[in-house]
Amino acid sequence: MPKLPPGRTENAFGDFKPAWSPTQAMAEAHRCLYCHDAPCIRACPTDIDIPTFIRKIATANLKGSARTILDRNILGQSCARVCPVEVLCVGACVFKHAGLPPIQIGKLQRFATDHAARQDWTFYQAGPDSGHSVGLVGGGPASIAAAHRLRRFGHAVTIYESRATLGGLNSSGVAPYKIPAQDAIDEIDRVLTIGGVSVQTGLTVPDDVSWAELEARHDALFIGVGLGADSHIKVPGERLKGVIGAVDWISRMKLGQVDLSRVRNAVVVGGGNTAVDAVRELLGLGVENVKMVYRGTQAGMSGYAHEWAHAKQEGARAVWQTLPIAFIDKGGRVDGLRCVRLDADKRPIADTDHTIAADLVLVAIGQGKLAHLADGLAGVKTARGRILVDDQGATGRPGVYAGGDCVNGGKEVVNAVAMGRDAAIAIHSYLSAGVR
């Protein structure tokens, strides 16, 4: 993929969790107990053999360590940075349950995979040509993981992506202080050096190419379209200038430039991880006054507690149990957010109407679902905007599989990788059985 343009706004951010030196990594690796029935493995959606990769670091076998990681998670380098390890592998560490500092698994994983990238080690080759072809709709982590595994099996693959770049939110939506967009794209380039992966960008299914055409071209399909555009808040004034979907704004900031020179008061509406990221990003870019407006309580927010704790340390403030009811219009541009307070049952409290100053409002209340894109595939079932699959990623239509956010509704990158990998294994079994 082409390099991103220089001068992107995201370049203002440094690394929130700087890489470790060999001495730090070696010392931490030697702390690991190498548990026989390691709870950290069970907590990892991709089932990485964590004690084994750590032991290999401790014995200076970094190539073996990286291979152990990538065997299960081909996007292990970015996942080392973006995974919420505090609630996954690190959160399950036996040391934590003993009241001791848990092993810093994410930092050790980054140490091994970063070293492998610098050394340009090649671990995988495409398998012998199987004569089969698989089309992958969507170019996010699920499809990337599926494509790589399918090539190892020898199947030809083509990725169809509507955007100009691959990677989905891993490239365009993850906070830049966790991983810059170019680093995520560089990782995908390394993954695709396995060869034999055709990529068609700027192409939307089924508008530019129909499902019937794809099924005629390929022996199996994988749907990994992710999620859609930011959800609307549906109150008066939402079309004013300065009212932007948070995912859209983050993408602009990571892949290009945003101008905040006239923004003094910013509001982020929502209480999930995207909202918390947006708050931290606005603060990091120098916005003087940033508030998060959430209809629930701090205890009830869906954003991770450890992320909000960092946001508060950086100067974030929140207005809890508050509901936006209108945007204030000043010459066609937003000038404030009119709100009411809510009671414990999220009902408006009388006489609590008030206005919060804002010349920029980022709406982070979720994203639209894209399951409707599969409406032209008879037998593919959906529910509440999600594509329904079995535990191997198979839909109700033979040869059609799905994974990632369009199935799980929006989880972590590591979940998408696991679903793409496992669906690829199931597709291989399907094709090997000679069904077509």
**320-345 pLDDT, tens per residue?**
999 999 999 999 999 999 999 999 99
Q: What is the CATH number of the domain that holds 41?
A: 1.10.1060.10
d(CA 157, CA 146): 9
**236 in any annotated domain:** no
Judge contact between 283 and 177, C-beta under 8 A. Answer: no
**5 in any annotated domain:** no
- State whether 222 and 298 are in the same domain: no
- State whether 258 and 353 are in the same domain: yes
Tally of structural domains, the chain: 3
- State whether 289 and 338 are in the same domain: yes
**Domain end marker among 68, 90, 119:** 119
**233 in any annotated domain:** no
pLDDT, one tens digit per residue, over 210-219 is 999 999 999 9
pLDDT above 70 covers a percentage of the chain that reads 100
**Domain end marker among 119, 153, 171:** 119
* One-letter amino acid of 176: P
Tokens read off for 180: 């810059």
Q: How many CA atoms does the CB half-sphere of 60 hold within 13 Å?
A: 1
pLDDT at 435 over 70: no
**315 in any annotated domain:** yes
- State whether 76 and 181 are in the same domain: no
Per DSSP (E only), the strands in 114-169 are 133-137, 156-161
- State whether 266 and 354 are in the same domain: yes
Q: What angle do CA 24, 30, 33 make, to 5 degrees?
A: 135
Residue 215's pLDDT is 97
**Domain end marker among 338, 363, 388:** 363
d(CA 149, CA 123): 12
pLDDT, one tens digit per residue, over 72-101 is 999 999 999 999 999 999 999 999 989 999
pLDDT at 2 over 90: no
d(CA 326, CA 349): 16
Task: Calculate mean pLDDT across residues 162-167.
Answer: 95
Rounded CA Rg of the chain? 23
pLDDT above 90 covers a percentage of the chain that reads 97
Mean of all residue pLDDT scores within the chain: 96
- State whether 142 and 111 are in the same domain: no
Residue 376's pLDDT is 86
- State whether 101 and 29 are in the same domain: yes
Tokens read off for 171: 């490239």
pLDDT, one tens digit per residue, over 393-431 is 999 999 999 999 999 999 999 999 999 999 999 999 999
- State whether 400 and 352 are in the same domain: no
Pairing of the two strands 382-383 and 386-387: antiparallel
- State whether 34 and 110 are in the same domain: yes
- State whether 88 and 55 are in the same domain: yes
Residue 434's pLDDT is 77
Task: Calculate mean pLDDT across residues 30-35.
Answer: 97
**36 in any annotated domain:** yes
**144 in any annotated domain:** yes
In Å, how far are 157, 169, 233, 299, 305 from 302, measured between CA atoms? 37, 19, 18, 9, 8
**335 in any annotated domain:** yes
d(CA 174, CA 177): 9
Judge contact between 97 and 165, C-beta under 8 A. Answer: no
Question: Read out DSSP for 337-388?
Answer: EEEEEB-TTSPBPTT--EEEE-SEEEE-S-B---GGGGTTSTT--EETTEE-
Residue 3's pLDDT is 84
Judge contact between 261 and 286, C-beta under 8 A. Answer: no
Helix (H) or strand (E) holding 216: helix 211-217
Q: What is the CATH number of the domain that holds 270?
A: 3.50.50.60
**400 in any annotated domain:** yes
- State whether 278 and 193 are in the same domain: no
Domain span at residue 34 reads 18-119
- State whether 391 and 339 are in the same domain: no
End-to-end CA distance of the chain: 33
